[in-house]
Structure 1
Amino acid sequence: MSSVLAAFFTAFALVFVAELPDKTTISTLVLTTRYRKGAVWTGVAAAFAVHTTVAVAFGSALTLLPEQVVSVIAGIMFGIGAALLLRAGFSKPEESGKDAMRSGPAQTTFLSGAAACFGMIFAAEWGDASQLMMAGLAARYGQPIAVGLGSLAAIAAVTALAVFVGGKLRDRIRPHLLQRAAGFLFAGFAAYAFGAAALA
């Protein structure tokens, strides 16, 4: 029983610390400027659930994924995200004077928002350091379920924090400015991913 708890809490602590400053947290934060907070959390959490399951099930086999292909897919997903964010950020306000960005999340269905967030994070996280860490912890402790649950709990907590902060920023800062900044940030992630693919 002690080894199960040790595996759970070790996985929680390490994954939480690793994911808090990660690009995925930043991505989650800015996704809340485009989609409903519940949809963002659901999509991101679902993507991480898949990655966590794969990590603890197959361990080091994740390193066999073709790095170049993963980078290209991540670049495409971030590029699509940048295009959506910039389009919303530079759109004209509605005739009512209400900021178009502020009404954006309400016009997007929960399912489409969650699916978009799932796809972006799912593509971007293959081979991520935290995923490899989960695989290593599962191998070390021999407790894949405890490691998986601890990792998921940490990811859920970090994602909730990012969604909360993103929601506060959307309410306090001019949405178009935040949307433009988020779009350029995603474009940077896309450029980085394509650069990594070119160098692979």
Structure 2
Amino acid sequence: MDPAVVLASFLPVLLLELPDKTFVATLVLATRYRPLTAWVGVGLAFAVQSAIAVAAGRLLSALPDRPVAAVAAALFAVGAVTLFRGAAKARQAEEEALHEYERSVRGGARGLRAVLACFGVVFLAEWGDLSQLFTAGLAARYDDPLSVFAGAWAALLVVSALAAAVGATLMRKLSVATVSRVGGVVCAALAVLTVLEVLGVDLPV
């Protein structure tokens, strides 16, 4: 496992998901169920989603190098544009997602049933999410699927842990727009680096 690839996967996914509905979903689930139970269910859902994303990225990597790098660059660019465009309305979107999840999530279950309920809510709601596409792009760019999986999943676990533990407080104090813009910069940088790879420019990573 390469620590540099783990970090390169961890940071952008963390910045993608902090202002995303993933945080809100976990926050709502943690109010309906025990926080640890919610976090375990959410974490398992993200483990499966990250594994699927990495597998998809590895399938892409079997194609010729330049088309693969071009697809990865496009995914990173989409992430950057989405975050920059969403920064201005980030707080409003977060509040709308909060109300949506509050209406749809039902509590009452305990133990394994609660874990499975949290797993199902997040797995279905977050399927095809930007972070999953982004993880696939990372797996296609780096020839190290284990490190990409570890970095992406760790980022999702950190975001969901923050939401489950101190979500309400963090939502009041966190500048979601700033996080979105920082994430956009990181995504844009990855897009540029990948384009340079397509053009044949040697890079250290």
- TM-score, normalised by the number of residues in structure 1: 0.59
For the pair 1:52 / 2:73, whether they are aligned, the reply is no
Q: Distance in 2 between matches of 1:129 and 1:84?
A: 22
Measured after TM superposition, the shift of residue 38 of structure 1 is: 1.1
In structure 2, runs of 5+ residues without a counterpart are: 61-98, 171-205
Residues 149-171 of structure 1 show CA distances to partners (whole Å, capped at 9, x for unaligned) of 011111111111000024879xx
The answer as to whether partners of 2:58 and 2:145 remain within 8 angstroms in 1 is: no
Residue type of the partner of 1:132?
L
Q: What is the percentage of aligned positions where both structures have the same residue?
A: 48
Partner of 1:158: 159
Measure, in 2, the Cα distance between the counterparts of 1:151 and 1:17.
Answer: 11
Determine the C-alpha separation between the residues in 2 that align with 1:166 and 1:133. Answer: 24
Aligned length: 132
Q: For the Cα contact (< 8 Å) 2:26–2:164, is it kept in 1?
A: yes
Who wins on radius of gyration, i.e. which is larger? 1
SS of 1:55's equivalent?
helix
1:37 and 1:167 in contact (8 A); partners too: no
- 1:35 aligned partner: 33
CA drift of 1:32 comes to 1.1
Alpha-carbon displacement from aligned partner over 1:129-175 (angstroms, at most 9, x marks no partner): 11011111111111110000011111111111000024879xxxxxx
1:82 matched to 2:103: yes
Structure 1 counterpart of 2:138, which letter? Answer: L
CA shift, 1:59, in A, is 2.2
Aligned-partner Cα distance in 2 for 1:17–1:144: 20
- SS in structure 2 of the partner of residue 151 of structure 1: helix
Partner of 2:10: 12
What whole-Å deviation, never above 9, does each CA across 1:71-102 have from its counterpart, x for those lacking one?
xxxxxxx98962555xxxxxxxxxxxxxxxxx
- What is the TM-score when the length of structure 2 is the normalising length? 0.58
Distance in structure 2 (CA, Å) of the matches to 1:18 and 1:110: 30
Tell me how far apart the structure 2 counterparts of residues 20 and 80 of structure 1 sit (CA, whole Å): 16
1:65-76 matched pairs, under 5 angstroms: none
